[in-house]
Structure formats: C-alpha cells, structure tokens
Amino acid sequence: MNQAFCKITKKKINRVINFGKMPIANGFLKKKDFKNEFFFNLSVSFSEKLSLLQLDDHPSPKKMFHTHYPFYTSSSNHMKMHFKQYSDWAKKKFLKKNKSKIVEIGSNDGTFLMNFNQNQFDVLGFEPSKNVSDLAKINGINSLNRFFNRKNLSECEGFIGKTDVIFGANVVCHIPNLAEFIKTADLLLNDNGKIIFEEPYLGSMYNKTSYDQIYDEHIFIFSITSIKKIFDLFDFELIDAIQQKTHGGSMRYVLQRKRSRVVNKKIRSMLENEKRKHLDSIEGALRFKKNCELSKEKLLEKIYKIKKQKKQICGYGATSKSTTILNYCDIGPNLIDCIFDTTPDKIGKFSPGKHIPIIDHKYFKRKFYDYSFLFAWNHRKEIEKKEKKYLKNGGKWITHL
Ligand code: SAH
Ligand code: TYD
C-alpha cells in the first residue's frame, strides 16, 4: 500500500490497520446492482502530531450523501430524546437571548432543530442528502440542501457573522476537509459564537474494540486531544468536553475563538487521562489493531460453533457499522440468513458487499431465530425493551463486542 498522509497537515503518517476491501457502508442495494457495486480499501492511519486516527481513503462525499441517503435520525426514539436533552442543555447554557441564530450541520430529518421554537430562534440546517433534507422541510425546518462550506454561504447571508452557535452531531467526523469546515464556521459565528458538536469517541472505541465505528463516512475518530490540537491550528480553543452515552460512547466538544477565558478546568485532567490511556500516541492505536484481530477471530469462532450446532442466526439493525463487521470478517448469507430493520429505504434490498437480505423488522416476531446478531448494539436498551418476548422464547442476542 502507498504511504499515508495526514489529511490536515499533509505530512507522512503511519498506517495502523487495514480492514481490506469495503463497499459504501450505507450502500444497501438491489440484486440488479450487484455487478456495479463500488469498493475501496478501508485502512486507518494515526498522526502523532495531531493524535488523530483517520481513514486513508474514502469515497467522495457526493457518493455517500445524495438523494437517497438511508439514515434517519428519527429511527431511534432514544436518540430523539437525546436530541431534546441536547437542545435543553444548549438553550440554558448558551442561548439565553431572544432570537438567537443557530445553525446545525448534518441536520438530517430535522430531529434536533425541531426542538427550537421558531418564534424564539432563527434556525438553519445544512443537509446535503436531499431525501432527509426534504423531510426536515416537511417538518417545518429551514433546511438548506447543501454541504457546509464557504461556497454555499451565499445562500444564507443573514447568518454570516451573526450566528450564536453552530451545532453538529455525528457529522464533523464525516467532513474530509476540516480546515474548510472551521473556516466556514469562523465566517458564520459572531464575536462570542460557539461550535458545539458530538462525535463517536476514540476512547470508547478502544475500550470496546468497536472497530465497526470505522467505515467510509467516519473519516476521523476524534479524542479530546485531537480536537484540541486541530482547532488550535485555526485559533479556536476547546472550552469544554462532555462525555455522552450515545452511539456506544461519544464526546461533546465546545469550541470558541481563542482569547475566551472560560475554559473548563476539567479539560486538563481529561487530557492527562487520555495520555495515560495512550489515546494521544500510536501505542494506543497499535493495541487497538491487535484487539481488532483478536475480536475477528473470536467472532468467527463463535459463529462457526453456532452453525455447527445447526442453529440459525439473523441480524438485527442494518446499521452502517455492520458493513465493516460483515466485510472485514467475511460473513455472508451462508452464516447470517437476513437482517431485520425498520428503515423503508433498506427493506427489500441487500447489505453492501456481502449481500445479506434486509427484511422488515415486523417479521422478526414471526420467525424464530436461535441467535440474533445485534448490529445496532448502541441501541441495545431500546431494542431489548421492544423485543422482550424474544429472550423469553429462548432467543439469544450476540454481538462482536
Ligand atoms: N446529525 C444527525 C445525522 C447524522 S448522519 C444525527 O446525529 O443523527 C450525518 C449527516 O450529515 C447526514 O445526514 C449527511 O447527509 C450529513 N452531512 C455529511 N457531510 C456533510 C457536510 N459536509 N455538511 C453538512 N452535512 C453533512
Ligand atoms: P445506528 O446505530 O443509529 O446507525 P449507523 O450505524 O447506521 O450509524 O442504527 C440505525 C439502524 O438501526 C437503522 O437502520 C434502523 C435500525 N434500527 C432498527 O431496526 N430498530 C430499532 O429499534 C432501532 C433503534 C434501530
């Protein structure tokens, strides 16, 4: 494989893990499209300078975010509740004045922005995927069907230099050009403006060996250290970091232009803690690589043992994360019969790369599978509550974790 380069500094960096040939993680497809399926090589490198774990290669954003992006924030009730709490927290802490201007990037179907009363807030979402952006509009949200970059600011001049907070969730790690993201934010924010976003956390991924967080859309897996170092290059200061339970462990970051004197004192000890856990150096990444290899071995052992007993396995939740597990571990319909899911855009199609059929979740109750691979493990509580009877009937949940 060629040399890897840091996406921000453009300097040579060390490649850590190669997950091999991968399709688009959210590229659920019909049988007729199997022969034209797109693949790329999924590998990860680590920049010691920025303490940053990144993908070396990925499909272009337009290939991933388009007219039929099949992820809807509202597909989880727990996430809807989480976004209500996120908005309550932000209103109390940062949005006290009347008619605050707020922007969300990656606003998807509008789930987060719907929590802001339009009589009290000026609201704008940037959402490049047309289907979900249209749904947000139906939900009454001012959603601009555009990528967040300087070129597209001409369409929202009223927000330039006047925005109080730019929000995001599970989106900043999707943006290959972070310099462009920060420069765009800088143009929009007013003097005291803040950037607040939450993303899957490197520390949680290492702890759980949840390597399925690594797929085409997740170009970076951030830590407090890497966020501090990246934004520092653009004169922004990390003023707070707050751990979140969502998506298997996330971190919410609050940033402001430098010279603000309001940095939370906890940040220092949080950075020290990351150092102790080797989140800042390649050592942590190399340990993670070993754990991924062990995890793959153990998972295949577990699955082959079940199959030897002539038991049947289905999948639950056709997540984008599942694409990494299935393709990295080479698990196809010979081992997992089908995957149940609630998303109309996925049902009736096949999983990317391995072509396991995706079935409407309502049939999960009708046919008994001895084992269910919980690909949506991050929604475990919500799903186990919904599927109490499955355990009662002797069914067993399994995961790669
Ligand atoms: N924030 C939502 C959606 C996350 S999925 C949530 O947490 O549930 C990521 C979303 O970001 C997708 O809807 C995708 O279309 C959008 N997105 C990807 N790149 C973007 C960019 N450069 N600017 C704005 N939105 C982007
Ligand atoms: P999520 O982990 O949020 O997505 P991703 O890994 O793609 O970022 O899982 C969302 C998927 O899980 C989506 O396809 C819907 C499905 N799902 C169910 O089928 N049932 C459920 O109860 C929940 C919460 C999700």
- Asked if residues 130 and 66 have their Cβ atoms less than 8 Å apart, the reply is yes
Q: What is the mean pLDDT of the chain?
A: 96
d(CA 399, CA 396): 10
The token pair that represents 349 in the structure block: 């199609």
Beta carbon of 361 within 6 Å of any ligand 2 atom:
yes
Which residue's CA is the nearest one to ligand 1's atom 17?
106
Burial of 395 (0-12, 13-18, 19+ CB in 10 A): middle
Beta carbon of 83 within 6 Å of any ligand 1 atom:
no
Q: Where are the domains positioned within the chain?
A: 309-398
Structure confidence at residue 1 as a pLDDT band (50, 70, 90):
low
Neighbours of 118 (CB within 10 A): 12
Beta carbon of 182 within 6 Å of any ligand 1 atom:
no
User: pLDDT: is 263 or 352 the higher one?
Assistant: 352
d(CA 398, CA 375): 9
- Asked if residues 216 and 25 have their Cβ atoms less than 8 Å apart, the reply is yes
Beta carbon of 61 within 6 Å of any ligand 1 atom:
yes
Output the DSSP codes for 222-250. Answer: B-HHHHHHHHHTTTEEEEEEEEE-GGGSE
Pocket test for ligand 2, best of 379, 382, 384, 399 (most atoms within 8 A of CB): 379
Interior CA angle at 249 toward 248 and 250, to 5°? Answer: 125
d(CA 266, CA 254): 13
d(CA 300, CA 335): 10
Given a cut of 70, whether residue 352 has pLDDT beyond it is yes
Beta carbon of 126 within 6 Å of any ligand 1 atom:
yes
- Position 136 scores a pLDDT of 98
- Position 241 scores a pLDDT of 98
Can you give the pTM of this predicted structure? 0.96
Interior CA angle at 210 toward 340 and 273, to 5°? Answer: 145
Beta carbon of 349 within 6 Å of any ligand 2 atom:
no
The percent of residues above 90 in pLDDT, for the chain, comes to 97
Given a cut of 80, whether residue 355 has pLDDT beyond it is yes
Interior CA angle at 38 toward 398 and 145, to 5°? Answer: 90
In eight-state DSSP terms, residue 142 is: -
- Asked if residues 302 and 293 have their Cβ atoms less than 8 Å apart, the reply is no
d(CA 105, CA 199): 13
Burial of 370 (0-12, 13-18, 19+ CB in 10 A): middle
Neighbours of 22 (CB within 10 A): 27
Beta strand spans in 170-312 (E): 189-200, 220-221, 236-244, 250-257
CA of 153 to the centre of ligand 2 (A): 32
Q: Is the dihedral of CA 299, 300, 301, 303 positive or negative?
A: positive
- Summarize pLDDT for 151-166 with one digit per residue, the tens: 999 999 999 999 999 9
Q: What is the mean pLDDT of residues 40-58?
A: 96
Beta carbon of 322 within 6 Å of any ligand 2 atom:
no
**Helices and strands counted in the chain (H then E):** 11, 17
Structure confidence at residue 133 as a pLDDT band (50, 70, 90):
very high
- Position 98 scores a pLDDT of 84
Q: Determine the atom of ligand 2 nearest the C-alpha atom of 72.
A: 13
d(CA 195, CA 235): 13
- Position 183 scores a pLDDT of 98
d(CA 187, CA 291): 42
d(CA 360, CA 73): 18
- Asked if residues 34 and 349 have their Cβ atoms less than 8 Å apart, the reply is no
| Ramachandran category for residue 170: left, alpha or beta (phi over 0 → left; psi -120 to 50 → alpha) | left
Q: Determine the atom of ligand 1 nearest the C-alpha atom of 128.
A: 15
Neighbours of 282 (CB within 10 A): 18
Beta carbon of 181 within 6 Å of any ligand 1 atom:
no
Given a cut of 80, whether residue 72 has pLDDT beyond it is yes
CA of 311 to the centre of ligand 2 (A): 25
Which superfamily, per CATH, for 309-398?
NAD(P)-binding Rossmann-like Domain (3.40.50.720)
d(CA 183, CA 328): 36
Which residue's CA is the nearest one to ligand 2's atom 10?
319
Pocket test for ligand 1, best of 74, 171, 184 (most atoms within 8 A of CB): 171
Given a cut of 90, whether residue 97 has pLDDT beyond it is no
- Summarize pLDDT for 244-292 with one digit per residue, the tens: 999 999 999 999 999 876 888 999 999 999 999 999 999 999 999 999 9
Pocket test for ligand 2, best of 250, 339, 341 (most atoms within 8 A of CB): 341
Neighbours of 372 (CB within 10 A): 25
- Asked if residues 230 and 50 have their Cβ atoms less than 8 Å apart, the reply is yes
Instruction: Kindly provide the b/e burial profile for residues 216-225, where b requires at least 16 CB atoms within 10 angstroms of the residue's own CB.
Output: bbbbbbbbbb
Per the document, the length of the chain is 401
- Summarize pLDDT for 318-331 with one digit per residue, the tens: 999 999 999 999 99
Q: Determine the atom of ligand 1 nearest the C-alpha atom of 107.
A: 1
Q: Determine the atom of ligand 1 nearest the C-alpha atom of 133.
A: 13
Which residue's CA is the nearest one to ligand 2's atom 1?
319
SS3 label, residue 120: coil
Given a cut of 80, whether residue 351 has pLDDT beyond it is yes
- Position 197 scores a pLDDT of 98
- Summarize pLDDT for 178-211 with one digit per residue, the tens: 999 999 999 999 999 999 999 999 999 999 999 9
Residue 122: its H or E element: strand 121-126
Beta carbon of 116 within 6 Å of any ligand 2 atom:
no
Structure confidence at residue 114 as a pLDDT band (50, 70, 90):
very high
- Asked if residues 374 and 341 have their Cβ atoms less than 8 Å apart, the reply is no
CA of 43 to the centre of ligand 2 (A): 24
